């Protein structure tokens, strides 16, 4: 989806991983000072976004998988106050992936 704004720069989408072995999470953040409580994010991705008692956005799940990319980009695009951003997470280390205690 083109035109998605996020931590990678205005108008830029979060780059997709280079291959199937690179499973980076997508980091989701929200600027509550910009939020105007429109609710598009919570309707689009209810498992990721919620609203606090004051009506402003709360990120319920800041680390999301690559499979959620499309819905996350849509939520960012639909946000009228541009309060949401996506950025690539750190790649899992080879040691951590091998089940290091």
Locate the domains of the chain by residue range: 26-89
Pick one of 3.40.50.300, 1.10.10.10, 3.60.15.10, 3.30.70.20 as the CATH number of 26-89: 3.30.70.20
Q: pTM above the 0.85 mark?
A: no
Q: What is the pLDDT of residues 16-29, one digit of tens each?
A: 555 554 678 999 99
Q: What is the pLDDT of residues 79-88, one digit of tens each?
A: 999 999 999 9
Task: Report yes or no: 67 and 23 within 8 Å, Cβ to Cβ.
Answer: no
Q: How many CA atoms lie within 13 A of 17 on its CB side?
A: 16
Going by the DSSP 8-state scheme, the letter that residue 6 receives in this structure is B
Q: What is the pLDDT of residues 44-79, one digit of tens each?
A: 999 999 999 999 999 998 999 999 999 999 999 999
Q: What is the largest CA-CA distance in the chain?
A: 44
């Amino acid at each position: 989806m083109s035109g998605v704004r996020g931590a990678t720069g205005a108008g830029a989408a979060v780059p997709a991983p280079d291959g199937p072995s690179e499973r980076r999470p997508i980091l989701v953040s929200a600027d509550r000072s910009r939020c105007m409580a429109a609710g598009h994010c919570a309707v689009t991705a209810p498992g990721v976004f919620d609203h606090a008692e004051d009506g402003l956005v709360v990120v319920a799940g800041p680390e999301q998988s690559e499979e959620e990319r499309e819905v996350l980009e849509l939520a960012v695009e639909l946000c009228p106050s541009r309060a949401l951003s996506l950025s690539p997470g750190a790649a899992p280390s080879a040691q951590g992936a091998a089940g290091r205690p």
